[in-house]
Structure 1
């Protein structure tokens, strides 16, 4: 593997990083060119020796710690780190001011109001327009106020009519749903209705009175039957007791 690294000896600024130099030193293939020297190539051993001695002299633990302390890295010092940072140029400050001014101008642009969908929203929009109209003269304000009142009244009336129509639609929808339920259920005929005259009403009352009297007679007859059955049972029990006493007396007389 042949790796070469060109170094310009006339230039005061380094063109390669330290890692590249170390890599080339490890391979011992460095070629230096410059206008000061008569030949294009230098002995690799002398060049590598110079670089190794320079590295050993510069990269010492003391120098490394001193560099870290100066940069504020170890021990860590944020104030020391921020001191070396470049200040923000004036152009960027001007751009920030322009952007801020642009944002303010965009905020000053009037927004398009949302179309109202209710009477309350129409009233709110009317109030906003009335506030914006304060900058006009007196005559213009009066004309604008009258027209806005007419527009607001018409809009509120329209919304009220729409609300009533929606309520009526909901009521009709509920009735239609009830009719669907009635049609889906099986009908049961209890009786037939007819128109009754005064004579029919009198006859119905008489028949009802007769039915009630007949019902009371049946109940009283049933009560009498219950009483008769109780009397017969008591009489039969008395006769049975009398017969038993007679038989016992005859048995005593026979002895």
Structure 2
């Protein structure tokens, strides 16, 4: 008889229990065969069970590496991950079980080849299914049920764990090619096709991990540079207010180790004090860098709920993708263009200057208004699924109210004041016509003067900024190594830079002291194997040395210890 599994096995066990009960209650009036045939089981199986035999599952329970309670924990974890939008891969479940076995039994114990299938047999509340792979078009247009299910689970989780808006976060990665700018509109001659702007062309990849809260707060980023260590030149322009976590990888990409470092050294560090032992909700996508057992284990042990977005839906449901990463890229391109203009067309960019441009772009992008607008557009906070399921049309444009006449301070105000003055001049008389002409001429002259002043002010401001920047700019090409640690923070950068500067200063002071000692009186300088200069007379002034044809040098013969005075030309005397 083939081995039964799952529900069929459970149904057979129930029939055996009923047959045993029927036989015991009937006394001697029914035989084993009658009770067995009544419930459709083998009489020998009924006989063995009545004699104390166990079913196959209970009989082999002592041979299992994990007991029933430990497997129950795995079952509940799998169910919880499924409810949060992370249906687990088979390899991840087996990895978790192997981790528990190594903790309980030691490194010498390994799971069997068929452990996973038998684990599913022992726990029929779980089942394995092929996950659906949806392309972007189907996810957007044809799978409204997927989005509804996301909002339903989100509401259930936030209600169950009483998650507050300030404890709700969204994280995602953003990649930069540090020298590449986005396309922008430019002004050129009419009829010209494909105008070009010069940019650095530096394609070095940098990954930035960002996180924002539901109350409009942006957490410090984690910046992953391409390299094998941290170098001083990378952080030449980093200031105290530029709080971040810095890391490196061979290609500038994130991985599971860096994802775990971000969770511990960045997210938990900056949110645990705000949460005050409340549950935190972390909304993220299914990237492999944050779907590991260690990542989930740390989350659950520290009251963090990792809530996964549906596949191919980040452009609809992820606040960072919907309303922040686009403006961030735009502001970064603008900052890069401004830097090129200020430097007179110098398009060079490296890892040191990149951080300055990135922090400035972040300051322009991550305002409270922009972050709250991004959350609202996804329908997550405030909770409003109709923003995604049934988008509302755009509202009418705002009507601008023109205030009363004021002293014009720029061309726009001058034009508005002139228009108001012309509207007040009524009638068709010659005097009225002359007055209108004079107002128009005054308007034209005033606009020209104000425009030239504004252009001059802007050029002068940019020039002053460029001069100040060149005067205060630290070297960003310093290749002195700061640390080999994989992840460091802004505080670590400042501490390591100070330590490196102190070591360099000490080294320079020692070199200077050696040079001074070498040039001082009484320094023995070896000329040959047996002869050395013991003392050089440097007390004469420069003019006296030039006028004197000869200088005195005391030469000591180290082989015979005899001293003699020799007269040599002064031009041969060296310090």
Question: Which TM bucket (shorter chain)?
Answer: under 0.3
More strand by share: 2
User: So what's the TM-score if we normalise by structure 1?
Assistant: 0.26
Larger radius of gyration: 1
Q: Which has the higher contact order (CA 8 A, sep 6+)?
A: 2
More helix by share: 1
